[in-house]
Amino acid sequence: MSNRRSGPMLVAVSAATLICAVTLSPKPVVAQGAPPAPPVQVSAPLAQRVTNWDEFTGRFEASEQVDVRARVSGFLDSLHFKDGDLVKKGDLLFTIDPRPYRLSVDAARAEVARAKAQVELAQNEVERAEGLTQNRTITARDVDQRRANLNSAIGSQQGAEANLKTAELNLEWTEVRAPLAGRLSNRRVDPGNLIAGGQSGATLLTTIVAVDPIYFTFDASEADYLRYQRQATNLRSGASRQDGTVAEVRLADETEWTRRGRIDFVDNALNARSGTIRGRVVFPNTDQFLTPGTFGRLRVFAGEADALLVPDTVIVSDQANKIVLTVGPENKIVPKPVVLGQITGGLRVIRSGLTPQDKVVIGGFASPMVRPGATVTPQPGEIKLAASK
């Protein structure tokens, strides 16, 4: 009797359990597929006609520089400038004690006066002898002797006059003047010291450099030199030497190329060790801001050409190469090595490595999935020049 009752109950419990199991069981798991391709912005490189510039690193040098030394020796009596002053050509810088040289001038003048007296005496003797020869009072030999004495006295006078000029010149050289206009360094000797003058071993008193104009020297590679040689506007052409190839420079803390000059000299040979050739640019420096020894970045005009431009931010480095990411077939990232040029209008000039049909990735770099070989979803973007101020 109990077995018969338990059968229907067991069926009911089993049905209820099945209903609960169906109700509480989770939804069937769907296999997770590949992640969606990350979106990136792409654009063709901007085609633009640009002015090409070749950039070099160099430093400023004085257009003229002189080590100021005295031509005569003596005690340094006084100085007439402050360290670092700007001076004009001919300005008085140092004074050497002139008293010994004034005495030398006085002695030389006295010697000239004595020589003149000897010439007058010899001249009178000759005139007297020439009058006596008519009466045969003296012989012709005596006349010749007196004429020789006159010539000797004239020679002595000329020597005394030359010595006087030398003494006067030495007295003039006791005032050491600026040989050129420029900026002085600090004094090397204080007043009261005995200094040596002359052509060798003279004491260095100070230095002076010309500040306007100023030179900028740089080294160009052999490849750059050959390229300029093959162009109409080359560094060694007559136009470059006379009119000068345009060049611009900016200092380490400057972003704009506001200083313009012209190349006035290119060396006559390449350096055998470095394979470079030295060039020089002349810059005006009316405000005396540019200082010899300052480093700068120079760019030299290299003509105009059609070029492709991309934002500088899209360029990445791959060891020694510069890479631009592009979207190729099947929307896969394709890296392309490029050769960079200058910045123009806020964009980087690409000299080689890209074509006008390339789709350059210009946005969407934040995703770690944007890497070479990855599949992406390209979205249209646009490359624009920076607005001119």
Same domain? For 75 and 183 the reply is: yes
**How far is 118 from 123, CA to CA, in rounded Å?**
8
Task: Kindly report the CATH number assigned to the domain that includes residue 243.
Answer: 2.40.30.170
Same domain? For 141 and 253 the reply is: no
Same domain? For 237 and 252 the reply is: yes
**3 lies in some domain:** no
190: left (phi over 0), alpha (psi -120 to 50) or beta: beta
**387 lies in some domain:** no
pLDDT band at 387 (very low <50, low <70, confident <90, very high): low
What's the mean pLDDT in 58-75?
A: 95
What's the mean pLDDT in 240-247?
A: 64
pLDDT one-digit tens code per residue, 325-353: 999 988 898 999 998 888 888 899 998 89
Same domain? For 191 and 250 the reply is: no
**5 lies in some domain:** no
Q: The whole model's pTM is what?
A: 0.69
Q: Give the count of domains, the chain.
A: 4
Task: Kindly report the CATH number assigned to the domain that includes residue 323.
Answer: 2.40.420.20
pLDDT of residue 29: 41
Checking if the pLDDT of 92 tops 50, the result is yes
Cβ atoms of residues 337 and 321 within 8 Å: yes
pLDDT band at 138 (very low <50, low <70, confident <90, very high): confident
Cβ atoms of residues 281 and 329 within 8 Å: no
What's the mean pLDDT in 62-77?
A: 95
Same domain? For 79 and 198 the reply is: yes
Task: Kindly report the CATH number assigned to the domain that includes residue 112.
Answer: 1.10.287
Cβ atoms of residues 216 and 300 within 8 Å: no
DSSP 15: H
Q: From 267, 286, 304, give the residue that closes a domain.
A: 304
**204 lies in some domain:** yes
Map residue 251 onto helix, strand or coil.
coil
Cβ atoms of residues 281 and 263 within 8 Å: yes
Tokens of 195: 């200094």
| Strand 74-79, strand 194-195: pairing | antiparallel
pLDDT one-digit tens code per residue, 160-170: 999 999 999 99
pLDDT one-digit tens code per residue, 118-134: 999 999 988 888 777 76
Between the CA of residue 366 and those of 310, 352, 361, what are the distances in Å? 18, 27, 12
**255 lies in some domain:** yes
Give the residue with greater pLDDT, 23 vs 141.
141
Q: In terms of residue numbers, what domain contains 109?
A: 99-173
Same domain? For 198 and 314 the reply is: no
Give the residue with greater pLDDT, 237 vs 228.
228
**How far is 139 from 133, CA to CA, in rounded Å?**
7
Map residue 114 onto helix, strand or coil.
helix
Residues linked to residue 332 through DSSP beta bridges, in sequence order: 375
CB-count burial class (<10 Å; 0-12, 13-18, 19+) for 2? exposed
